[in-house]
Amino acid sequence: MNDTTKQPLPVSEEELLLQKQYAAQVRALLGAEGKPHFVYIETFGCQQNEADSERLLGMACEMGYEVTDVSANADLLLVNTCAVREHAELKALSITGQFKHLKAKNPQLFIGICGCMVSQEHRKADIKNKYPYIDFLFGTSLVYRFPQILYETMSGHCRKLYADEAVQRIAEDLPVRRASKTQAWVSIMYGCNNFCTYCVVPYVRGRERSRSAEKIEEEVRALVQGGCREVTLLGQNVNSYHGADCPDFPTLLHRICTIEGDFTVRFMTSHPKDASAALIDCMASEKKIARQFHLPLQSGSSKTLRRMNRRYTKEQYLALVNALREKIPDLTLTTDIIVGFPGESEEDFEQTLDVLQRVRFDSIFSFLYSPRRGTPAADYPDQIDPEEKKKRFRRLTDLQNEISLEKNREMIGKVLPVFVQGQSKTNAEMFSGRTEGNKLVHFKAAPQLIGKTVPMKITDATFFALFAEPFES
Positions touching ligand 5AD (CB under 6 A) are 84-85, 198-199, 296, 298, 336, 338, 367, 369-370, 372
Binding partner of 171, given ligand SF4, ligand 5AD, none, CB within 5-8 angstroms per partner class: none
Least Å distance, CB 255 to ligand 5AD, is 27
Binding partner of 369, given ligand 5AD, ligand SF4, none, CB within 5-8 angstroms per partner class: ligand 5AD
Binding partner of 463, given ligand SF4, ligand 5AD, none, CB within 5-8 angstroms per partner class: none
Least Å distance, CB 336 to ligand 5AD, is 3
Least Å distance, CB 380 to ligand SF4, is 16
Binding partner of 338, given ligand SF4, ligand 5AD, none, CB within 5-8 angstroms per partner class: ligand 5AD
Q: Say which amino acid occupies 238.
A: V
Nearer to ligand 5AD, 182 or 236 (CB): 236
Nearer to ligand SF4, 135 or 164 (CB): 164
Residues lying near ligand SF4 in the complex (CB under 6 A): 192, 194-196, 199, 201-202, 236-237, 271
Binding partner of 168, given ligand SF4, ligand 5AD, none, CB within 5-8 angstroms per partner class: none
Nearer to ligand SF4, 43 or 197 (CB): 197
Least Å distance, CB 191 to ligand SF4, is 9
Note whether 342 and 379 are within 8 A (CB).
no
Separation of alpha carbons 85 and 96, rounded Å: 17
Please state the separation of Cα 288 from the chain's center in Å: 21
Binding partner of 271, given ligand 5AD, ligand SF4, none, CB within 5-8 angstroms per partner class: ligand SF4
Nearer to ligand 5AD, 298 or 432 (CB): 298
Q: What DSSP string runs through 80-144?
A: EE--SSHHHHHHHHHHHHHTHHHHHH-TT-EEEEEEGGGGSHHHHHHHHHH-TT--EEE-GGGGG
Least Å distance, CB 237 to ligand SF4, is 5
Phi (first) and psi of residue 435, to 5 degrees: -75, 175
Give me the count of residues in the chain. Answer: 473
Least Å distance, CB 203 to ligand 5AD, is 11
Q: Say which amino acid occupies 80.
A: N
268-285 as b/e: b if 16+ CB within 10 A: bbbbbebbeeebbebbee
Nearer to ligand SF4, 56 or 196 (CB): 196
Nearer to ligand 5AD, 87 or 414 (CB): 87
DSSP code at position 6:
G
Binding partner of 237, given ligand SF4, ligand 5AD, none, CB within 5-8 angstroms per partner class: ligand SF4
Separation of alpha carbons 114 and 77, rounded Å: 11
Note whether 266 and 435 are within 8 A (CB).
no
Residues linked to residue 382 through DSSP beta bridges, in sequence order: none
DSSP code at position 439:
-
Separation of alpha carbons 216 and 413, rounded Å: 39
- First and final CA of the chain: distance in angstroms? 55
Q: Which of 292, 169, 202, 188 is nearest to 238 (CA)?
A: 188
Binding partner of 58, given ligand SF4, ligand 5AD, none, CB within 5-8 angstroms per partner class: none
Least Å distance, CB 327 to ligand 5AD, is 24
Note whether 115 and 140 are within 8 A (CB).
yes
Nearer to ligand 5AD, 199 or 256 (CB): 199
